[in-house]
Structure 1
């Protein structure tokens, strides 16, 4: 429809009908206008899958059995693939499943930069690097929206900590803000053409993001000419006037007093009294109608979508497989020989834990979830005996199938230190060590890390340490079996310094969706050659992260981003700080050699890459350059390519213009 036709519809609406469209009348939808053929806009959480159904005005699951969906790898896992096609494919699956469930807006992806490893929602975000985040998120958004579903990119902006997220203010240099954190949003919203964006909970320069004139009016509307819908985070609007005139379009919240929302009766009253021009409301309704028109909600010519299809599950497996990062393989223990495995010991709670029903609003009801132990047993079959011992007592993550934590999420939360995280089970540990001493296992596989007790919305981690005494347990296992395979599953980097030098074999996995356990099993036995690269720095200690050594993190009043441009590897590289594993790191079962690197005048780097090993594999060619303005060296191009054993390929990588000393070397010699 033309702009004029949409505005004609607005002109036909009463003020009450307009007000009904700009605020939630249920927890996940607004009001439509039946007489004009305008349906409700149905939203859903979903960075890792479409969330289950709740009562319209109670945060209690309806416990349906028809809202089970494909559980997708988290955005951090997707980032570890360094694969734009994978990002598009996963976005397309999410969009199709949202449409199949009758949704119009999927609240994803999260594209906040990983400024600190302690942020509880890091698993929902891609990377510490803005370029990598934008390149993948652009494709993710395109994939979602090709299914007639709007992607709602979040959280705009500077939502980099969960501590006091409803009140904390953020301060930094405005030029640096635009060049870094906002640049990611600019690219995803404009190049990805995302139809909507979600305002964050926190404040920026003193004003809440959902009522922030600088962010929503000066930058978003005027500088970027963005014509999409701004949706508040649930409970992110505090002041009717400020939010209305700043450019927020749709207010959503977590309480059931829908008529009392800022954009409900209070907004109607201010319009009636002449304090807010009705044309302000008209613009909001127009943008909502424009989005609906783009989604074919008005002409009813929409795709029907689908969920739980075999192709969706295959995509989940493919992303999971490419995201696994091989951190160490010094003694070439991997890949294991399946024919030699008569008896295996598997240790660790993450070998059997299901992660889909945790993490806060990222939770979903998965049709199925293959954990690593199940994946191993499926792969090896009945000729291999697999013993399992937990090794430690892990507590249970919050589960919303009964009553949801979200009902109280707007209140100030004083997070008490969880003593369970420090609890060490001597009995469980001795059970493991006794088994190792008294049995002749062909292989020992440890599967630990974090879970959604720590990686979750509304909560930041207290430190980078593994909980439940895992460091001591891993170290003790390695004292007896140096060839033990250590697998860690987490949403962000963890400290490994107390045992990493003892370990010869370490695999890393983010929360990897319904096929994660199969992907791990296939990687262990060589059916999948690991090709994942770390999308974030793994620090030796927390103080090596610039958010702590230069800037601030976790404060409850104002957080100052004093580190400026020096985020993640851009800080550690510049200052020569040793790390555990660097950004972009990841081994393979084969090896690759680079030669004949050349740069053309049209911002293209070509290099010949040879697979010098005896296994087919995939390599990611990364291009870095010196940013003369920020004085940091950063990622400006990448391309992932499959190369057969012994094969040579000429790889072409387009890179961002305006950089000096461009090469594949992150730290020039």
Structure 2
């Protein structure tokens, strides 16, 4: 018996050793990912490779069950993890444990001008996505703010490519530390929602490379993004979700992107381009999927059976499917098959604190004046001066985490401005709605019955007569034709009769604090009459708390505008030409303003903005000294250090964003008057001075020469402008490039 036991044990050990030796490399986390990808690919059938490339449900794509390779689950972002959707329907799944934290919209994040806030944001939302077992978070968005009518601007990071580039990188890195792929969107030129599915954008290579691509490039090269979402629109005749120039030549060629390209839902349009032009995962085509409303199944997607047939008959080279499958496997091993990724957390107090902190730091104080001469500025509020404070406006109570399209959130907590102000000032606060936005009955100001508007307006004006102070909380919302996916705004002015309401209140009570909640600039015909104006964005779960802390002075505002506020719509570069420049003719659109987007247009064309890019006030004041250069000449192999002293000249601690712009005095091609190249947000105590330093490199002086297809810097004089906005320049100095 002893001999038999020894023999049996020997057999078991041999079998165990044999099984261990045969364990596939792709299952071994200790092996380099590229080895795992190669091993898994070698074991897959052609059918299994193709099946990776298209959806299996509304928000998931298939794995390889035979090999133990799991499916991929995606979730909409970028401001929170979307509630669960049914397997094959856009209807909500009806879960009770999918309430999320709503973080501020990305316009607010950009307005912080603080990469540390971006890192906090990415860490927290990445933790929520991981806890909800999501492998891909569909965000962040970095499309450039070209026109204030774009319905989706609130999801993006403003008009300047450098600001967007700096702010997006920490977000991506921190999300992906959770083993969740960031999916940067919408690549590229999805700068309007009107006709987004087919509008063909025509623009120069200079504008493409200087304005619209840098934030995507930074996402890939510096952020290390694991996935990219294609845009709906066309570029030069090809849809962006399968566009040879964007995907093969630039993204995967020039930038060496090793991740996945995922369509926006329904963004694929034919098998040939999808097969050959760089698309990896197709989502949302024939959006009814397997339901009785559609004859199409998921296998009928463009990268489904028709692609498989083309591979088998030689229409498409096998190298295309091997590349797609390798990229998808790489993302799977980085996410769902990464055993070292943390578990994540969800709707914690820490996350609510993050949401509030970002909101507080992104709120922009646009204007702060006294109501009468010799009086102090209206903000921060001194509640001892007021016995009755009237809060006017639907946005004081309306949930602004709902609506807007795919960014709609089901939140665990949302503090309204009215509730926060009541908590702070108690019985002094009274509220009246003032206007009706139509939820969801009306979509534009013309559809609101006149009697509804008149009654609400008259009630607000009557109550304003008796109030010591009016806090107006209005702006836009996420209704259709407002800040909302799938449609652009149709007017630049405030909707729902708000301008008449504001003027009526000011006629009886000039003591008004204006709080605008929006993701876009708006026309302000009453701007000279309102003493204090706050741009509040869509602030998420802690919206009211953040606003109350700013208005009361608990927090000193430090946000800066990430885009310009034109006086009128025609002052914006996209709207300064004919309709072919915006919105196009339903087929084609030409970016006639070229590289002169936002402040570049206002500066160069000498068309002043109402509020400039980078503008934002504080409850303290800052003094700037003289900028000093380490050198007066630079070579293409050298650098120059710029130092400028900044002093808090007020009586309370504050944060200042020191902005450095560079202008080329003479160039062979048209260049903007100046361009943002660096910024630094510094905290200063009263009376404190800090020397803020920047290092100017030769790359900061370059522009894209589309004839030579390269970035060049021409010898000559360059001017350095340092200030607190694009127009409030406190010091300027020049140097020569030799």
- SS across alignment from 1:651: strand
Q: Of 185, 197, 206, which residue of structure 2 is paired with 1:166?
A: 197
Q: Of 360, 374, 380, which residue of structure 1 is paired with 2:425?
A: 380
Note the 1:187-206 alignment, pairs <5 A. 187-206=218-237
User: Using the alignment, how far apart are the partners of 2:64 and 2:640 within structure 1?
Assistant: 51
Residue number in structure 2 paired with 1:595: 625
TM-score, with structure 1 as normaliser: 0.94
Residue number in structure 1 paired with 2:274: 243
User: Using the alignment, how far apart are the partners of 1:416 and 1:205 within structure 2?
Assistant: 33
Residue 575 (1) aligns with residue 608 (2): no
Residue 518 (1) aligns with residue 549 (2): no
User: Using the alignment, how far apart are the partners of 1:101 and 1:630 within structure 2?
Assistant: 49
Contact 2:445–2:497 under 8 Å retained in 1: no
The C-alpha deviation readout for 1:571-629, integer Å capped at 9, x for no partner, is 11111112211111111111000013223353442211111111111100000001555
Residue 317 (1) aligns with residue 356 (2): yes
Q: CA deviation at 1:319?
A: 0.5
Residue number in structure 2 paired with 1:471: 499
Note the 1:103-122 alignment, pairs <5 A. 103-122=134-153
Contact 1:596–1:608 under 8 Å retained in 2: yes
TM-score, with structure 2 as normaliser: 0.85
Contact 1:624–1:636 under 8 Å retained in 2: yes
Note the 1:125-136 alignment, pairs <5 A. 125-136=156-167
Residue 642 (1) aligns with residue 683 (2): yes
The C-alpha deviation readout for 1:63-88, integer Å capped at 9, x for no partner, is 21211111000010011110010011
Residue number in structure 2 paired with 1:401: none
Residue number in structure 1 paired with 2:393: 348
Contact 2:206–2:595 under 8 Å retained in 1: no
User: Using the alignment, how far apart are the partners of 2:534 and 2:694 within structure 1?
Assistant: 28
Contact 1:138–1:188 under 8 Å retained in 2: yes
Change (3 A) 1:344 1:166: same
How many aligned positions are there?
647
User: Using the alignment, how far apart are the partners of 1:131 and 1:51 within structure 2?
Assistant: 29
Which stretch shifts more, 649-658 or 522-531? 649-658
Residue number in structure 2 paired with 1:307: 346
Q: CA deviation at 1:300?
A: 2.5
- State the structure with more CA Rg: 2
Residue number in structure 2 paired with 1:407: none
Which stretch shifts more, 147-156 or 543-552? 543-552
Residue number in structure 2 paired with 1:553: 582
Change (3 A) 1:207 1:149: same
The C-alpha deviation readout for 1:497-555, integer Å capped at 9, x for no partner, is x2111111111111011111111111111001111111111011100011011471122
Contact 1:422–1:469 under 8 Å retained in 2: no
In structure 2, runs of 5+ residues without a counterpart are 1-31, 290-296, 371-376, 632-638, 702-717, 733-738
In structure 1, runs of 5+ residues without a counterpart are 399-414
Contact 2:391–2:431 under 8 Å retained in 1: yes
Q: CA deviation at 1:340?
A: 4.1
Q: Of 610, 626, 631, which residue of structure 1 is paired with 2:647?
A: 610
Q: Of 303, 311, 326, which residue of structure 1 is paired with 2:365?
A: 326
Which stretch shifts more, 164-173 or 15-24? 15-24
Q: Which has the higher contact order (CA 8 A, sep 6+)?
A: 1
Contact 1:621–1:664 under 8 Å retained in 2: yes
Residue number in structure 1 paired with 2:208: 177
Change (3 A) 1:114 1:65: same
Change (3 A) 1:421 1:610: farther
Residue number in structure 1 paired with 2:509: 481
Residue number in structure 1 paired with 2:520: 492
- SS across alignment from 2:474: strand
User: Using the alignment, how far apart are the partners of 1:364 and 1:278 within structure 2?
Assistant: 41
Q: CA deviation at 1:169?
A: 0.2
- SS across alignment from 1:447: strand
Q: CA deviation at 1:5?
A: 3.2
Q: Of 405, 422, 425, which residue of structure 2 is paired with 1:360?
A: 405
